Amino acid sequence: MTTHTELPSMQESLLDVAGKKIFVAETGDGPPVLLLHGGGPGASGISNYHRNIAELAREYRVIVPDLPGYGRSTKGIYGADPFGYLAGSIRGLLDAFGLDKAHLVGNSYGGACALRLALDTPDRVDRMVLMGPGGIGTTRALPTPGLNSLLNYYSGDGPSRLKLEKFIRNHLVFNAADVPDSVIDARYRDSIDPEVVAAPPLRRPKSLRALWKMDFTRDARLSRLPVPTLVLWGAADKVNRPSGGRMLAERMPNCDLYVVANTGHWVQFERAELFNRLCADFLAGRR
């Protein structure tokens, strides 16, 4: 099995952003890069990127927040415009760090957050890497079985370890054996935090207006977005359809697309060495 670099020591802080607390861990020196995690049950920044942080920190100042609603950050999301809420929170985090702009790396829900931040305030984003981002063509087709599994986690008979394991092994990754039981155990513990159960951060849109607003392919600004962007999409992604990568490449003027064979929704985890190399080179302008 492939070995992965151990996590380096990281400085941790809990920052006040617009009256909410955002947990952040950081390490490394160089241009700032924010790693924005996905929205699955029990997700958090460090757990989402633990195979990437050390390698990227060789060249960058790596900043890894827990998005609002997750991990050690304040729980609750504004349901009428969740992507806008997340983007505003991360923009506030940039302000708290005194950063005029930064690179953004976003997986799934975090990719939607990064893309919305770039659309709203492109001057705050240097370069951007998106892995299977949410909100691409979501009004043009029914949700995938993987996305339905994710969205149904807190409904019905409520959260369970078996439910989470089925989502991760059957829908999140290409090779189920690549995910150790310890990852599922840790995510399950975090997913049943009473505050999270009371206000799940990822839900079905509350209205047609919200649904429309959450599909970036309906946003005319996408075709004018100047931010250089690399989109990485697993060819076997069962959560967000790989066809979303082509939609972005066709609409965005400065978008490179890399489709990753034999890979599901978690490119940075499943193909860590490839991801680390492509991401570091793209952010540095070497490709």
Residue with tokens 């990852």: 183
- How far apart CA 41 and CA 153 sit, in angstroms, is 7
**Burial class (CB within 10 angstroms; exposed 0-12, middle 13-18, buried 19+) of 25:** buried
At residue 36, φ and ψ (nearest 5 deg) are -110, 120
Residue with tokens 């359809």: 241
Helices 109-120 and 82-97: crossing angle in degrees, nearest 10, is 70
Given the residues 50, 103, 171, 265, select the one marked as catalytic: 265
Please report which residue ranges of the chain form alpha helices under DSSP H. 45-48, 53-56, 82-97, 109-120, 145-151, 161-167, 181-191, 194-198, 208-213, 243-251, 267-270, 272-283
Active site residue 50: no
Which residues are tagged catalytic?
265
